[in-house]
Amino acid sequence: MKKIFGLAVLSVLLLALAVPAVAEDTIKIAAMEPLSGSFKDIGERYLDGVVYAAKVINENGGLLGKKVEVIPVDSELKPDVATRKAQNLILRDNVKFFCGGTGSSVGAAMEQLAERQNAIMISYGMAAASMTGEKCSKNFFRTCGNTDQQSYALAALVAKKGYKRVAIIAQDYSFGQEALAAFKRRLAKLNPSAEIVAELYHPAGTKDFAPYVSQLIAAKPDAIFTPNWGNDLTLLLKQGRPMGMKQVVLSYYINDEFTIQAMGDDSLMIGNMGAEVYTLSIPTDKNKEFVAKFYKDKGYYPTWLRGKSFMSTMFWAEAVKKAGTTDIPAVIKAWEGLTYDGPAGLWTMRACDHQAQVPFWYTEIVKENPFFKHAFEASAGMVPAEDVSVPCAETGCKMKK
Amino acid sequence: MIAKKNRPYLFIAFLFALGAVMPVLLRQYHLNMLTEIIVFALYAVSYNLLLGYAGLLSFGHAMFFGMGAFTVAVSLIHIPGLSLWGAIGLAIAMTTVVGFVTGGLLLRHKGAYFALLTLAFNSLFCAVATKWHTVTGGDDGLSVTRPDLSLGFTTINMAGLTSFYYFTLVIIGAAIVFCWYFTQTAMGQTVLMMRENEERMKFLGYNTNISRLILFTFTGAVAGLAGAFYTLHFQFCSQSAISVDMTTTVLLMTFVGGTGTFWGPMMGALVYVVLQNYLSDITDRWPLFMGLIFVFMVLFIPGGLTQIIQYVRNLFSGRNGTDKSLAVKEGSS
């Protein structure tokens, strides 16, 4: 009796699993972003861009006659959580397209999953070069720059400005080291006379920058390069400026409006420079039109993260349109070599490693800007795509077709 | 009338038969979930052997689970041509060693000291997994591909869900049955009696320390097997497999299912995985609701789902509210 009852309960629970879900005829793209926890603001802004792109596509007649549906997925910035949720979406809702911008760990795990499950993963922000390098996969596309490209762009900027003495400070982990290595490699090529006067590593999450700042000042550089982000950037500037670190800081993520707001003091930021694949202040007509329309629709600006994920999604839609189907091998084939002429210039998806070849936009932080009351980007200048390109042979990618 | 003695075996045979037809009844998505449930059921069962049977509250069970998970991932990546059996065998061997060594250190203490020490050891293992980037992949984790299953006379492709589901059902199912069998042996009964009255056992001439160490090592190896299948199932392993969160997960499963019976934690694993899947679809705050359920269960239904089921069954059979003490182990369940 007891066993039979237990069995009945078990069977009912198992059958409850089998309730079918209602399927709609849409093209689904899942955005894997941290939508909770301390990187929530980044994930939400990326997601915003994807959703906006879907809206624009749907307003213009949809994709292959169908609506594009964005499925927000909270990756919790954990690769195991992201892949598990993605796996469920593949099995249950037949989702074939995934995108994301936060956390190269999530990206690398998603890349493997996409290859196994015959899906496509698109990164518009996960920057670790290895994902289109030695780990590259035909099912993975990157529609933003990687650490190599971004460092190359900043090295180009340093060479252009003619800085002779450069100091470098970076977080002591793979990202910081990769960014630094690429920067040094490129600068040595572009301007062999430029000298690296200091090269400092600090643990990620350092609270006291005083010892590093005094070393930086003692080296008497013309400019300081750092790939630091988050608190490590804010604290470096907050503690460094009052100590007399007056040099221009060239950083990966200087154009983040949240960082500038968190700084609370514009004078710490003015004069610093950064380079990204998208900045609000790109002076092309296409970008002005995009920014104006976005602002009209939403009431705020498509700052870098939103712009990046927007363009990435539009680029993906172009590829699907060209393929004429959502069949994965067809989309992969269609996307290779495809160009997209968006707000940030001409993007080309390179076939050899699926790394988009994109121009970078450098910008200086100034007091007067048309976007915010606080200091923000001045009109951006372009580093052409070919100047930041890493040749196919040097990426380490051996793509299995 | 079937002999009472044979009932559990019939029950087990029925469960296997039910499991065997599931791929026909369920769609891929649910089959995937069921595989996960089976893996976690073994993990919960191994934990309950410690908590429910031996009365040892451990906050470090994830170190075995994670150790098994990482052993499979690392060995599949670094040993070319390693078979599925080899990887699983290595995982069990590794967790047995870890269980024996840590058990030898940890079991010197009892009660709260034991609980806190296991927590400390778990954190230690987790820290190593996070920081030892070259081997464990750190925060990035490790992606693996399931190798084919070699059966001697034939090779089965394990890439598909269904074939892996059957493999899991057979191996994990057998492991669960073995755990149940273990509780029926003299050794298993010794553990029970030790929980009830250790002093008396000592006077009777049993070496309780050795018995406890054997149990600890055994549950560690079983959790390691579950961890090995966790990696094989997700084809991915990261530090969250060995983190304290994973211990909390098994604690939740065991409490929700009920520690009083052998089958309770399996029910807990089922409810946990199903709830997690549905809740996380509805809200990003799903851990909050899980927490609330946990608090509710501990406060009002300390016997877990098993207690509810027993209560309902008593209602049906007309014996209103004859609440049998759950602490008393029944021979067959």
Interfacial residues of A (vs B; Cβ cutoff 8 Å): 1-3, 5-7, 9-11, 13-14, 16-18, 20, 35-36, 74, 78-81, 83-85, 87-88, 91-92, 104-105, 108-109, 112-113, 116, 174
Q: CA of B2: which chain A residue's CA is closest?
A: A1
ipTM of the predicted structure? 0.77
Q: pLDDT > 70: what percent of chain A?
A: 94
Contact A18 B27 (CB under 8 A): yes
Q: CA of B159: which chain A residue's CA is closest?
A: A116
- How many other C-beta atoms are found inside a 10 Å radius of the C-beta of residue B187? 13
Mean pLDDT, rounded, for B276-294: 81
Contact A92 B317 (CB under 8 A): no
The band of B283, judged by pLDDT with boundaries at 50, 70 and 90, is confident
Q: 134-173 in B: which are within 8 Å (CB) of A?
A: 139-141, 143, 145, 159, 161
Task: For residue A156, give the amino acid letter.
Answer: A
Q: Which of A322-326, A340-344, B184-188 has the lowest mean pLDDT?
A: B184-188
pLDDT tens sequence across B239-265: 888 988 899 889 888 888 888 888 889
Q: Which of A115-129, A148-162, B314-328 has the lowest mean pLDDT?
A: B314-328
> Which residues of chain B are within 8 Å of residue A36 when distances are taken between CB atoms?
284-285
Contact A18 B30 (CB under 8 A): yes
For residue B313, give the nearest of A2, A104, A116 by CB distance: A2
- Whose tokens are 């990618």? That residue is A397
- Torsional sign, CA A10, B281, B48, B257: negative
Mean pLDDT, rounded, for A340-350: 91
- Alpha carbon dihedral B228, B232, B235, B238, in 10-degree steps, equals -10
Strand, helix or coil for residue A300:
coil
B17 and chain A in contact, CB less than 8 A: no
pLDDT tens sequence across A88-104: 899 888 899 999 988 88
For residue A80, give the nearest of B28, B29, B238 by CB distance: B238
Cα–Cα dist A83/A115, whole Å:
12
Contact A80 B241 (CB under 8 A): yes
For residue B29, give the nearest of A1, A35, A91 by CB distance: A91
How many A-B residue pairs are in contact by the CB < 8 A criterion?
101
> What value does the mean pLDDT of chain B take?
85
Contact A92 B316 (CB under 8 A): no
The band of B90, judged by pLDDT with boundaries at 50, 70 and 90, is very high
pLDDT tens sequence across B26-57: 888 889 889 999 999 999 999 999 988 888 88
Q: CA of B25: which chain A residue's CA is closest?
A: A18
Q: CA of B7: which chain A residue's CA is closest?
A: A3
The band of A254, judged by pLDDT with boundaries at 50, 70 and 90, is confident
Cα–Cα dist A363/A376, whole Å:
9
B18 and chain A in contact, CB less than 8 A: yes
For residue B141, give the nearest of A17, A79, A85 by CB distance: A79
Please tell me the distance in Å from B333's CA to the nearest CA on chain A. Answer: 9
Task: For residue B231, give the amino acid letter.
Answer: T
- pLDDT tops 80 at residue A6: no
Please tell me the distance in Å from B284's CA to the nearest CA on chain A. Answer: 7
The helices-and-strands tally (H runs, E runs) of chain B is: 14, 4
Contact A2 B333 (CB under 8 A): yes
Mean pLDDT, rounded, for B160-169: 90
Residue B233 CA: distances (Å) to CA of A55, B22, B36, B69: 37, 17, 7, 10
- pLDDT tops 70 at residue A192: yes
- How many other C-beta atoms are found inside a 10 Å radius of the C-beta of residue A194? 20
Q: pLDDT > 90: what percent of chain B?
A: 29
Contact A14 B274 (CB under 8 A): no
Of A86, A68, A84, A75, the residue nearest A28 (C-alpha): A68
For residue B234, give the nearest of A6, A7, A84 by CB distance: A84
> Which residues of chain A are within 8 Å of residue B34 when distances are taken between CB atoms?
14, 17
Angle of CA points A133, A136, A137, to nearest 5°? 165
Phi, psi of B332 (to 5 degrees): -95, -5
Mean pLDDT, rounded, for A213-217: 93
Contact B285 A108 (CB under 8 A): no
What is the pTM for the complete model shown?
0.81
Which residues, 6 or more positions from A38, have their beta carbon under 8 angstroms from its beta carbon?
A: none
Cα–Cα dist A139/A99, whole Å:
12
Task: Give the mutation candidate from B139, B243, B306 for the A interface (greatest A CB count, under 10 A).
Answer: B139
The band of A385, judged by pLDDT with boundaries at 50, 70 and 90, is confident
The band of B324, judged by pLDDT with boundaries at 50, 70 and 90, is very low
Angle of CA points A354, A358, A359, to nearest 5°? 165
- Residue B233: its pLDDT value, please? 92
Structural domains in chain A, CATH included, are 26-145+285-358 (3.40.50.2300), 148-276 (3.40.50.2300)
Which residues, 6 or more positions from B221, have their beta carbon under 8 angstroms from its beta carbon?
A: B64, B92, B95, B96, B99
Please tell me the distance in Å from A320's CA to the nearest CA on chain B. Answer: 26
Task: For residue B60, give the amino acid letter.
Answer: G
- pLDDT tops 80 at residue A380: yes
- Residue B4: its pLDDT value, please? 67
pLDDT tens sequence across B145-159: 888 888 878 888 888
Mean pLDDT, rounded, for A359-388: 86
Better pLDDT: B75 or A380? B75
> What value does the mean pLDDT of chain A take?
87
- Residue B34: its pLDDT value, please? 92
Task: Give the mutation candidate from A80, A111, A126 for the B interface (greatest B CB count, under 10 A).
Answer: A80
Residue A78 CA: distances (Å) to CA of A68, A344, A388: 26, 31, 30
How is residue B288 written in tokens?
């909050």
B32 and chain A in contact, CB less than 8 A: yes
Task: Give the mutation candidate from A87, A117, A121, A177 for the B interface (greatest B CB count, under 10 A).
Answer: A87
Going by DSSP bridges, is the β-strand pair A356-357/B142-143 parallel, antiparallel, or unpaired?
A: unpaired
- Residue A174: its pLDDT value, please? 76
How is residue B286 written in tokens?
């799903």
Contact B236 A1 (CB under 8 A): no
- How many other C-beta atoms are found inside a 10 Å radius of the C-beta of residue B85? 13
Q: Rank B94-103, B191-200, B237-246, B251-260 by mean pLDDT and report only the highest.
A: B94-103
Please tell me the distance in Å from A71's CA to the nearest CA on chain B. Answer: 11
- pLDDT tops 90 at residue A309: yes
Q: pLDDT > 90: what percent of chain A?
A: 38
B82 and chain A in contact, CB less than 8 A: no
- Residue A379: its pLDDT value, please? 83
> Which residues of chain B are within 8 Å of residue A7 when distances are taken between CB atoms?
11, 14, 18
Q: 269-298 in B: which are within 8 Å (CB) of A?
A: 270-271, 274, 277, 280, 284-285
The band of B322, judged by pLDDT with boundaries at 50, 70 and 90, is very low
> Which residues of chain B are within 8 Å of residue A19 when distances are taken between CB atoms?
none
Please tell me the distance in Å from A79's CA to the nearest CA on chain B. Answer: 7
B13-256 has CATH 1.10.3470 classification: yes
